[in-house]
Amino acid sequence: MLDNTHRVVVALGGQGSGKTHVGVVKTEGHILDYPGARVLFVAPDMDRLEAGLLTKFSELCPDSLLLEHKISARKFILANGGEIHWRSTDVAGGVRAGEQSFAVFDEAAWSPYSQEKRAYADLQGRLRLHQRTFSCPNEWLWGQPSVEVLEPGVERSFIRVTYRQQLAVTTTPKIGSFTNELLEMPPAGVAIYHLHTEDNLAHLAPGYLDILRDAYQGSLFRQEAMGELVGVESADYPMFDPRAHVMAGPQDFQLVVGGIDWGYRNSLAVVIFGFTSTGVAFGLEEWGGTHIDLDQIVLKTAELAAKYGVRVFFCDQAEPANISYLNRNGVPAVKQAVIQKAYRTAAVASRLQKTPTGTYRFYLHPSMRESIRQLRRAGESAEDPTKLKEVKSGKPMNDYSDAVEYAVTGGERIMGSPFAPPFARGHKRHEAVGVSQGIPFKFVG
């Protein structure tokens, strides 16, 4: 509650841990320190807003500070010139109005993925109130550092207030949510504070924790009572762990290759991998997006090839014309080295196992956020309603993970350690000819 230095503070807590209470207390601290503040309360829907932030604020706010409660206008009018508005994320563009100095996003993880992601961006964009000059009752002025008295008066003074901006997120985490995805690798300026239900038992009904324990089993209990970020285990890569497999690699490599998925159903994905002399694969960079034309792809892959010394790009075989176009424009490209998905997956999965020395043979650079995310969720079914990320898009999101597999299996072939047996390599029609450093070569399968 006392953290005023980070732009985003997150109270990550289980049910009954007091996280909404914390958010409201932080709000009151802000509006008292900064007269005339503009605050926005946000929740997934109006029911949760009313039951959470609005009810709690009405209970905790001093009567003398709460001047008026305008339900139809969805705002509180405060005696020191401040205002609190409230919106829900289920209304498109609902949080894109006005300038704020402070905002609370309550139960953020329980908004649908796309709404939650949009709301985070919109709230950050609204936190831009810098200064206000207005007349304020003297009873709310006591030498706050943010306040400059321009014209003192007997009952009211004309003041200038300089505001500090902050977003407070208060939520129980949720598997597959944008919040979980964001907080697993939090960006700069984000501070996370964990609240546990067991620490707040004095304010809860007797036996409440036992009720949660009976209702939620295993990892869900850790999520619902302990407020822990519970990851989604990938069907293809259950052993992939960002804490173990994400790190910056060395600068010099014996071999650097690329992988390209053309995004037939999803978006284009390009990844760059370097292999050390001992065969350890380090992901170096990723690039991609939707609706990217071939000329842009040529320019970017040529840039990456020059930057890292890429010998060849291993590509999705679905677009042979694209592969030919890259080669005609000086970018060495061939079809993927291993046709069958099961063998590509096994090749990458085997590298995720810990070696006898306690290290691994596969790492991704921290900047490769999409590759990291997709390896954690690879193989999820779009028909499974619990997989919100895929239900949102209606299609599996495996473009970057496929590109990773192309690069790793292709690099292994060049390094002289082919993973797949001959029968997994495909047929004669899958041959591709490429050029590497001026030397023609052929890959089969």
Q: How would residue 422 be classed by pLDDT, with cut points 50, 70 and 90?
A: very low
Strand partners, 42: 87, 105
d(CA 308, CA 254): 11
Q: How would residue 420 be classed by pLDDT, with cut points 50, 70 and 90?
A: very low
How much is the mean pLDDT over the chain? 85
What confidence score (pLDDT) does residue 391 get? 34
Q: Name all domains of the chain by residue range, CATH numbers in brackets.
A: 8-224 (3.40.50.300), 242-443 (3.30.420.280)
Q: How would residue 265 be classed by pLDDT, with cut points 50, 70 and 90?
A: low
Does residue 430 surpass a pLDDT of 60? Answer: no
What confidence score (pLDDT) does residue 197 get? 92
Q: What is the mean pLDDT of residues 331-348?
A: 87
Q: What is the mean pLDDT of residues 313-333?
A: 94
Q: What is the mean pLDDT of residues 77-94?
A: 88
Does residue 324 surpass a pLDDT of 50? Answer: yes
Count, residues in the chain: 445
Q: DSSP strand E in 16-114: where?
A: 38-43, 66-70, 75-78, 83-88, 102-106
Does residue 339 surpass a pLDDT of 90? Answer: no
Q: Say what percent of the chain tops pLDDT 70.
A: 85
Does residue 298 surpass a pLDDT of 90? Answer: yes
pLDDT tens by residue, 393-416 = 334 468 899 999 999 999 999 988
Does residue 429 surpass a pLDDT of 90? Answer: no
Nearest partner of 296 among 247, 248, 260, 252, judged by Cα: 260
Does residue 93 surpass a pLDDT of 80? Answer: no
Q: How would residue 427 be classed by pLDDT, with cut points 50, 70 and 90?
A: very low
Q: What is the mean pLDDT of residues 304-325?
A: 94
What confidence score (pLDDT) does residue 231 get? 61
* Burial annotation 302-316 (CB, 10 A radius, 16+ → b, else e): eebbeebebbbbbbb
- Per DSSP, the three-state class of 191 is strand
What confidence score (pLDDT) does residue 296 get? 94
Q: What is the mean pLDDT of residues 79-98?
A: 86
Q: What is the mean pLDDT of residues 308-327?
A: 94
How far are the Cα atoms of 9, 91, 139, 321, 409 from residue 190, in angstroms, in the given order?
A: 6, 26, 34, 45, 37
pLDDT tens by residue, 162-187 = 999 999 999 998 877 888 888 877 88
pTM above 0.85, yes or no: no
What confidence score (pLDDT) does residue 232 get? 57
Does residue 304 surpass a pLDDT of 70? Answer: yes
Strand partners, 310: none
What confidence score (pLDDT) does residue 107 get? 93
What confidence score (pLDDT) does residue 425 get? 38
Query: Pick the residue with more confidence: 439 or 234?
Result: 234
Q: What is the mean pLDDT of residues 346-354?
A: 87
Does residue 385 surpass a pLDDT of 90? Answer: no
d(CA 186, CA 73): 35
